[in-house]
Amino acid sequence: MENCYKALPVGGKLIACEPVLPEKSDESHQTGALLENDIFVMTIYTAKGKNRFEDELRQLGLSAGFSRFRPFYMDNFYTVLEFQK
């Protein structure tokens, strides 16, 4: 994320589409789908990526230097994340 920040002009935006884990785990379809996907990703891929909570994504952006973070919940699975320099 730091490399993206460095490459952007002032006011530039990084747009990402990610599954965002809910803060509270419950029996909802959304929680089940996100956790099943997390298990799938861990068993199929060897990359070091992982699903995160909204606050974790916000903190990653702030630590990279972004001054603004906005999540847009699109459906039960994906969230569009906007980080602005």
Give tens-digit pLDDT for 28-50. 666 666 666 665 555 555 566 67
CA distances in angstroms from 36 to 1, 30, 44, 59, 67, listed in the order given: 26, 10, 12, 25, 32
User: Could you give the number of structural domains in the chain?
Assistant: 1
Q: What's residue 49's pLDDT?
A: 64
Enclosing domain of residue 37: 2-84
Amino acid at 34: L
User: pLDDT for 14-27, tens place per residue?
Assistant: 999 887 877 766 66
2 DSSP 8-state letter:
H
Classify the C-alpha dihedral 36-26-74-16 as positive or negative.
negative
| pTM recorded for the entire structure | 0.74
